[in-house]
Structure 1
């Protein structure tokens, strides 16, 4: 079923008949969606969120406004771009200070749960959450997602790649994951493409139930899943497509020829920028302007994220599919669930 190099058609992958080495998918830009996907998400008619609570409204009582002297920004291990550092954010931090008059401090955390807890406890006022964690952040800490990045060519979001090694001749479909001899890796419990989405979509589309038809081994992240498959620690796993690309291109010991993809999902929105719901309205206005009214082309921030600009997003519309997936999986928005 392994297709010849150069035969990949992004419009008609034909997953039922073909597998592909990962290289042709990346070369065609298939790791992201496009403007049409963004427009479809933006134009959804959604009156109520399908799972959990809606985004919290700003307090009516001005005494409840949060007006810190220094704004704290945090970023969790992301389904978008990993390995960013404080200096990479200087361009946007400068814009925030310009718009709000307040300096920004960077607070890096090492888990999805820690990013949510930081905002809940007011140790973070702004955050770049992962896609799957966003629903927890809205429900547990009053996060208000408002912006997501768009690449210079208009590309948006990412996909779930059902990935195995190129030489795994016995794995040609998601159905083949349901084999006692196949060691499967998932990223983390709250990860969208690394756990929540495959748990729902593998079951819906392929009648393969994670945790029943195969044992789930949590690797700790998409890069760990990618490296683990290459090293033979795992045989296959669902991986965020953009994280897969970042990991392979950032590790000289890896190459696209080592991996094949047996199925890929439709695009999901990439992790959003969010602020805490009770920040003073003047601060919120400045934060939104810093991202939505700025062109970051030529900055280290754009180089590290892949985004020159940011566009407005609306939680109930853009995260609709994510909430439906988590409802299908019976996810409860609790700190203990996030920390499992």
Structure 2
């Protein structure tokens, strides 16, 4: 009798464990590059998780990460199945995970651009092209893996001066995200910085920039940037047609508050081929092998 009770209890625990594992396996997990303050990212992507869970009929969870490289690693290791990448991080991730696809991008993303900003004490004024007056200044990029905060600004700097940033500026730094780039230049820690135009515009609209201390001095030419990338094996894990359902859910997202938090007006279809210009630039300046 005692043995029977024990056996039943053990079986019950085993069934509970199996159910827990099954539930975990059925949770669709995604992440995003940490390009802004973490508080903003958690608010934005928790809302996206709730939306996707309702649309897909499965539990969906957003997992924040601490760096661009960690975002790519989580995708590579199948810790997440979907990610909101920048142009460069998306290219890196898809190279590491055969079969993964860019499936959606913001309407604004095919023609994205960066701002160069400068502290008032730098003496720099707005310019139509990158000028020799930039030489000898202190300069901060965003993350080393950022498209709008590092890759494309560095490309245009090299194109204009024929030299690497370390040979142009007196000091070069990496702030880790666009918000921090803005604050470092605003405070005068660096004289010049490069960041996403959208972060600047959002902060400006919110009244969070001291325009007596910092201003935009240069706008880069346009290039493709952010996108949603999904692993190619999600249909095997979540059922036939799941990738298409995720794609349709993202393209159908029309919640004004969620879209504004990106900020994007809507999402449109994307493909891996859209980001070939980013791959070529990254290879050209030695970021991709």
The structure that has the greater radius of gyration is 2
Does the 8 Å CA contact 2:114/2:197 hold for their aligned counterparts? yes
Q: Does 1:329 align with 2:254?
A: no
Q: Does 1:203 align with 2:164?
A: no
Q: Does 1:236 align with 2:192?
A: yes
Could you state the TM-score of these two structures normalised by the residue count of structure 1?
Answer: 0.67
How large is the RMSD of aligned CA atoms in angstroms? 2.7
Aligned residues: 257
> For residues 149 and 116 of structure 2, what CA distance do their matches in structure 1 show?
10
> For residues 49 and 114 of structure 2, what CA distance do their matches in structure 1 show?
31
Bigger mean CA offset, 237-246 vs 255-264 = 255-264
Deviation by residue 1:67-114 (Cα, 9 ceiling, x = unmatched): 9401001112138x9743445346543453344321101101121011
> For residues 265 and 195 of structure 2, what CA distance do their matches in structure 1 show?
25
> For residues 159 and 116 of structure 2, what CA distance do their matches in structure 1 show?
15
- Give the deviation of 1:330 after TM superposition: 1.7
Structure 1 gaps of 5+ residues are 1-66, 334-340
* Aligned twin of 1:77: 34
* Change in 2 beyond 3 A, CA 1:208/1:163: farther
Q: Does 1:101 align with 2:43?
A: no
> For residues 325 and 125 of structure 1, what CA distance do their matches in structure 2 show?
26
Deviation by residue 1:203-256 (Cα, 9 ceiling, x = unmatched): 21333431222242112222212111111100112221112223445564x233
Bigger mean CA offset, 269-278 vs 94-103 = 94-103
* Aligned twin of 1:160: 114
* Aligned twin of 2:211: 256
* Change in 2 beyond 3 A, CA 1:193/1:234: same
* Aligned twin of 1:185: 140
Say which SS state the counterpart of residue 123 (structure 1) adopts.
coil
- Give the deviation of 1:331 after TM superposition: 2.0
> For residues 99 and 219 of structure 1, what CA distance do their matches in structure 2 show?
37
- Give the deviation of 1:322 after TM superposition: 1.4
Say which SS state the counterpart of residue 326 (structure 1) adopts.
helix
Does the 8 Å CA contact 2:198/2:263 hold for their aligned counterparts? no
* Aligned twin of 2:228: 273
> For residues 308 and 230 of structure 1, what CA distance do their matches in structure 2 show?
28
* Aligned twin of 1:286: 245
> For residues 286 and 45 of structure 2, what CA distance do their matches in structure 1 show?
36
> For residues 190 and 88 of structure 1, what CA distance do their matches in structure 2 show?
21
Does the 8 Å CA contact 2:153/2:194 hold for their aligned counterparts? yes
Q: Does 1:312 align with 2:266?
A: no
Does the 8 Å CA contact 2:147/2:225 hold for their aligned counterparts? no
Structure 2 gaps of 5+ residues are 1-23
Structure showing the higher helix proportion among its residues: 2
Deviation by residue 1:7-35 (Cα, 9 ceiling, x = unmatched): xxxxxxxxxxxxxxxxxxxxxxxxxxxxx
- Give the deviation of 1:159 after TM superposition: 1.3
Say which SS state the counterpart of residue 205 (structure 1) adopts.
helix
* Aligned twin of 1:246: 202
> For residues 229 and 197 of structure 1, what CA distance do their matches in structure 2 show?
19
> For residues 292 and 117 of structure 1, what CA distance do their matches in structure 2 show?
26
* Change in 2 beyond 3 A, CA 1:185/1:321: same
Does the 8 Å CA contact 1:77/1:130 hold for their aligned counterparts? no
Does the 8 Å CA contact 1:150/1:307 hold for their aligned counterparts? yes
